[in-house]
Amino acid sequence: MLSRTALLSVQRPLGVLAMRSASAAGSGDQVARRERPEHPGKVRLGFIPEEWFQFFYNKTGVTGPYTFGVGLLTYLCSKEIYVMEHEYYSGLSLAIMAIVAVKKLGPTVAAWTDKEIDRIENEWKSGREEELQNLADAIEAEKKEQWRAEGALLLMDAKKRKHSITIGSCIPRTRYECLH
């Protein structure tokens, strides 16, 4: 008897699953797709969604969410669900000191680091500009050397023409002398 019950209980969910999948596949109903929001939802205190505050406003008024948070924190601490050991107070004091340091020293440290970054950036920029100027000077020197090389070719060509003219003027004279 027990084996029959176990067998029937195992068989029923499989049949129900099979019927559900067949009916879901054959139905013409389309499930509406959720659209992804372009911007995230509004939050308070940096991490609590605005919807939670709206939920409490209907039941408790304006101070409801804050009162609920303080009450929940008090309950967790008093029932020792949230245990505060010795290190808790060290961490709390360290967090307070870090917050005060960021508030007091943050702007001066930020200004100093901005000046250092600007100084380093200007050094790199001046080195880059100096290198670009050196390369531009090298390009101009190369163009001047190419111009000189073209001038040397023209000079060689002129010398060849002069030499050929000289030889050409000498050839008739030697022929003339040879004929007479």
DSSP structure class, residue 80: T
Q: Are 78 and 71 in contact (CB under 8 A)?
A: no
Distance, first Cα to last Cα, the chain = 152
**Residues 71-99 pLDDT 10s:** 999 999 899 888 888 888 898 899 999 99
Contacts of 44 (CB under 8 A, 6+ apart): 50, 53
Structure-derived torsion over alpha carbons of residues 76, 79, 85, 89, reported in degrees to the nearest 10? 50
pLDDT tens per residue across span 52-70: 888 888 888 878 888 888 9
Radius of gyration (Cα) for the chain, nearest Å? Answer: 47
Question: What percent of the chain has pLDDT above 70?
Answer: 77
pTM of the model: 0.37
Task: Domain ranges for the chain, please list them.
Answer: 83-178
Burial pattern 2-33, b for ≥16 Cβ within 10 A else e, equals eeeeeeeeeeeeeeeeeeeeeeeeeeeeeeee
Where do we find the tokens 């408790």? 60
pLDDT in tens, 135-175: 999 999 999 999 999 998 898 988 888 878 877 666 655 55
